[in-house]
């Protein structure tokens, strides 16, 4: 069988092909030379499958889509405190090149507008623009799983007309947000924006964020959970310039656009998406790119605020086998799932002493769910005088210390316990 997904993507591209409008960015002369007809889409899953349609291997410059990644690298290199001291996380509701500095502190409002992105670039490890951009290129090559290069023509073209960004650099220097030579930092930022990428590369980068910082094809960890959460949060609130509210309501996934016509979006835990079409709308976002995302979000139910209730689905079943109560759990357990399990245990009013929580089909437990489950184990043992056993072949609850000296017995399968096949 051929997967239906590439055919679906091709169909979506065809449907959105005609809905173009706006104009290619021309304030960077080299971008004005882009072929406006190009159109591409790519999806990458957290386990490394990529699907593409259209011109997904055509290269263009990453531009502002570099901003979330540079911010993530700055968080790793300089640490949260240093980054937050210099760059805020409030949406500015203004255009990308607005100066938007906080009154008094001079802190840029967020890392997705140029002022904040220039400050973020300066916090990447390196003594000068060359070293910082080389570090950026190396990290991004790991995320795309191929060696990337800078587009020299786009870089020099933007540098020649970068008066506004240089002015922003001097403003930041004046407020003590940048140390050292502001022109060196702005040069580095502009080079960072000229990284040459394809739509396929961008979907893999987006999938790395969707996957909590682990590159989905190579399995290599490129960022920490907290840095990814921070990055996605600012993408969600500030990623689409002054259209962030429209985007959140209509599409509802963290995203970032760039003036060369790309948009990347991240649905945490599910998919990284990238689209490319060079003509831009009045906000500076790709016209057809926005349409593609709206369509995907509708068709595929991607909106972050549209989440099916998960609680009950974690409880596979509760039955009594001889003198033992067995609670079968499944899937990924988070707060709502753990609460559903605990409620079932509380309401069941168990007559027998042996209680088994079977975690064989569980493949993830969040921190809060782990605490809720272990606290239930502790109470069952100490208050209700039960004998609790965990069936946990994968060690999902890793070192299940329930506190007050309570350590449930852990076995690899129910058969092991009884010496008979489980029914």
CA distances from 193 to 57, 78, 319 (A): 19, 20, 59
Tell me which residues in 301-340 interact with ligand GLU (CB under 6 A): none
Shortest Å distance, C-beta 193 to ligand GLU: 4
**Strands 50-54 and 271-276, bridge-based pairing:** unpaired
> Residue 193: helix, strand or coil by DSSP?
helix
| Total binding residues toward ligand GLU, as defined by CB under 6 A | 12
Q: How many whole angstroms separate alpha carbon 84 and alpha carbon 107? A: 9
Shortest Å distance, C-beta 346 to ligand GLU: 53
Shortest Å distance, C-beta 330 to ligand GLU: 44
**Residue 96 contacts ligand GLU per CB under 6 A:** yes
Burial of 310 (0-12, 13-18, 19+ CB in 10 A): middle
97, 216, 223, 277: which one binds ligand GLU (CB under 6 A):
97
**Residue 100 contacts ligand GLU per CB under 6 A:** no
Give yes or no for a contact between 216 and 144, defined as CB atoms under 8 angstroms apart. Answer: no
Q: How many whole angstroms separate alpha carbon 305 and alpha carbon 19? A: 27
> Residue 363: helix, strand or coil by DSSP?
strand
**Residue 376 contacts ligand GLU per CB under 6 A:** no
Torsion of CA 202, 223, 82, 100, to 10 degrees: 20
Q: How many whole angstroms separate alpha carbon 232 and alpha carbon 221? A: 17
165, 215, 277, 389: which one binds ligand GLU (CB under 6 A):
165
* Nearer Cβ to ligand GLU (258/408): 258
45, 110, 114, 133: which one binds ligand GLU (CB under 6 A):
114
The residues that bridge with 330 in the sheet, in sequence order, are: 361
Q: How many whole angstroms separate alpha carbon 224 and alpha carbon 333? A: 21
Shortest Å distance, C-beta 220 to ligand GLU: 27
Strand order in the sheet with 324-333: 315-321, 324-333, 354-365, 387-391, 409-411
**Residue 171 contacts ligand GLU per CB under 6 A:** no
Q: How many whole angstroms separate alpha carbon 189 and alpha carbon 295? A: 33
Site string for ligand GLU, 119-158 (x = CB under 6 A): ---------------------------------------x
* Nearer Cβ to ligand GLU (259/356): 259
**Residue 234 contacts ligand GLU per CB under 6 A:** no
188, 258, 261, 272: which one binds ligand GLU (CB under 6 A):
258
Six token digits for residue 220: 């290599």
**Residue 63 contacts ligand GLU per CB under 6 A:** yes
**Residue 290 contacts ligand GLU per CB under 6 A:** no
Shortest Å distance, C-beta 221 to ligand GLU: 28
9, 193, 280, 391: which one binds ligand GLU (CB under 6 A):
193
- Residue 360 backbone dihedrals phi, psi, to 5 degrees: -55, -40
CA geometry: angle 382, 386, 390, nearest 5 deg: 105
**Residue 51 contacts ligand GLU per CB under 6 A:** no
Shortest Å distance, C-beta 65 to ligand GLU: 7
Shortest Å distance, C-beta 114 to ligand GLU: 5
* Nearer Cβ to ligand GLU (29/331): 29
* Nearer Cβ to ligand GLU (192/381): 192
64, 208, 211, 223: which one binds ligand GLU (CB under 6 A):
64
* Nearer Cβ to ligand GLU (96/150): 96
Sequence-distant contacts of 54-57: CB under 8 A, at least 24 apart: 54/10, 54/13, 54/199, 54/276, 55/199, 55/276, 56/198, 56/199, 56/200, 56/276, 57/198, 57/199, 57/200
Our measurement of the distance from residue 206's CA atom to the centroid of its chain's CA atoms, rounded to an integer in Å, reads 6
Binding site for ligand GLU (CB under 6 A): 63-64, 96-97, 114, 158, 165, 190, 193, 258-259, 284
């Amino acid at each position: 069988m051929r997967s239906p997904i590439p055919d679906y993507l091709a169909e979506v591209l065809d449907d959105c092909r005609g809905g173009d409008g706006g104009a290619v960015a021309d304030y960077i002369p080299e971008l004005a030379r882009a072929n406006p007809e190009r159109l591409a889409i790519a999806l990458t899953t957290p386990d490394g499958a990529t699907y593409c349609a259209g011109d997904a291997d055509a290269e263009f410059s990453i531009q502002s889509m570099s901003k979330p990644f540079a911010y993530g690298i700055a968080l790793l290199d300089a640490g949260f405190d240093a980054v937050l001291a210099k760059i805020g996380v409030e949406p500015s509701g203004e255009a990308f090149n607005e100066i938007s500095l906080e009154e008094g502190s001079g802190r840029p409002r967020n890392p997705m507008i140029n002022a904040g992105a220039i400050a973020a670039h300066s916090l990447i490890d390196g003594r000068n623009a060359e070293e910082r951009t080389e570090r950026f290129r190396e990290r991004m090559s790991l995320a795309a799983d191929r060696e990337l290069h800078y587009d020299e023509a786009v870089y020099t073209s933007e540098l020649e007309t970068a008066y506004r960004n240089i002015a922003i650099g001097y403003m930041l220097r004046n407020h003590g947000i940048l140390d050292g030579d502001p022109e060196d930092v702005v040069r580095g930022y502009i080079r960072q924006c000229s990284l040459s990428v394809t739509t396929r590369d961008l979907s893999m980068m987006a999938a790395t964020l969707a996957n909590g910082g682990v590159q989905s094809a190579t399995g290599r960890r490129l960022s920490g959970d907290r840095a990814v959460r921070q990055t996605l949060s600012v993408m969600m609130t500030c990623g689409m310039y002054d259209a962030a509210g429209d985007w959140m309501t209509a599409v509802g996934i963290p995203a970032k656009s760039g003036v060369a016509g790309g948009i990347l979006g991240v649905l945490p835990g599910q998919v990284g998406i990238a689209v490319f079409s060079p003509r831009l709308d009045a906000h500076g976002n790709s016209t057809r790119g926005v349409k593609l995302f709206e369509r995907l979000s509708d068709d595929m139910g991607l909106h972050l605020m549209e989440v099916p209730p998960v609680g009950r689905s974690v409880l596979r079943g509760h039955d009594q086998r001889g003198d033992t109560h067995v609670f079968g759990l499944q899937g990924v357990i988070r707060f709502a799932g753990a609460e559903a399990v605990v409620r079932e245990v509380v309401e069941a009013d168990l007559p027998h002493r042996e209680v088994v929580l079977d975690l064989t089909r569980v493949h993830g437990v969040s921190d809060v769910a782990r605490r809720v489950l272990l606290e239930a184990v502790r109470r069952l043992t100490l208050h209700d005088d039960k004998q609790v056993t965990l069936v946990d072949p994968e060690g999902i609850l890793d070192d299940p210390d329930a506190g007050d000296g309570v350590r449930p017995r852990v076995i690899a399968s129910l058969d092991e316990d009884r010496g008979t096949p489980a029914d």
